[in-house]
Amino acid sequence: MTAIAVQAQWLLSRRRPKKSFFETFIRSLIILCVAIAIVLSSIAVCDGHWLFAKGKLFGLWHFCTIGNNNTLKCVTNLSLANIRGINVGMTLARSMVSFAVVVAIFGLELLMVSQVCEDINSRRKWSMGSALILLSFMLSSAGVLSFLILLRNHLTLTGFTLTYWCEFIAAFLFFLNGISGLHLNSITFPWNTVGKI
């Protein structure tokens, strides 16, 4: 009888407490918002045209000028923009923003796996996923800031394109969801239940 009681206690300590509907809903909402942020950031990186100023379109991958009959002439040689250090600066900016998308995809996968395959390590996977989302926020913000610093003489509020605002919103969503994921995991961790068992 004692061996059965010990085994039952061991199973109870290993069993994951049932989540409330509210916790499940919040976790699902975080996963959905991270997926939306990844889509927005992917669109911003793939299009790459972020700033229109003085008849020129500056992007992560191309530099465009308006021709005689209002057609865009785009080139991949960014040094034609006559901005000092633009080749190195844009390489750095697009590398960080692209890497942010990749890191966020891995973070999203960890968040989803922690919810689908619920086991002892689910909360650890959720924490790691949230940390990766925060890392993608830092990378995305660094890419956006380096773009702004590089083109600081050409900046106007109305010059930013829709794809730039997609990246800006995606970085903001990465921050909110990363912080929310870590906070949710800390307030729902069953310290008291483990202590009682």
pLDDT value of residue 195: 41
Query: By residue range, what is the domain housing residue 39?
Result: 21-50+85-189
Within a domain: 16: no
pLDDT at 77: 81
Q: Residue 109: CA atoms inside 13 Å, Cβ hemisphere, count?
A: 6
Identify whether 171 is part of a domain.
Answer: yes
Task: Classify residue 75: in a domain, yes or no.
Answer: no
What is the reported pLDDT for 6?
52
CATH of the domain at 136: 1.20.140
* Rounded distance between C-alpha atoms, residue 180 and residue 184, angstroms: 6
Q: Give this prediction's pTM.
A: 0.81
What pLDDT score was predicted for residue 196?
39
In a domain, residue 5? The reply is no
Instruction: Report the pLDDT value the prediction gives residue 192, as an integer from 0 to 100.
Output: 43
Mean pLDDT, the chain cut into blocks of 10 residues (197 residues total): 55 57 88 95 90 85 80 79 83 93 95 84 89 96 93 86 93 95 81 42
The total domain count for the chain is: 1
Question: Rounded to whole angstroms, how far apart are CA atoms 147 and 152?
Answer: 8
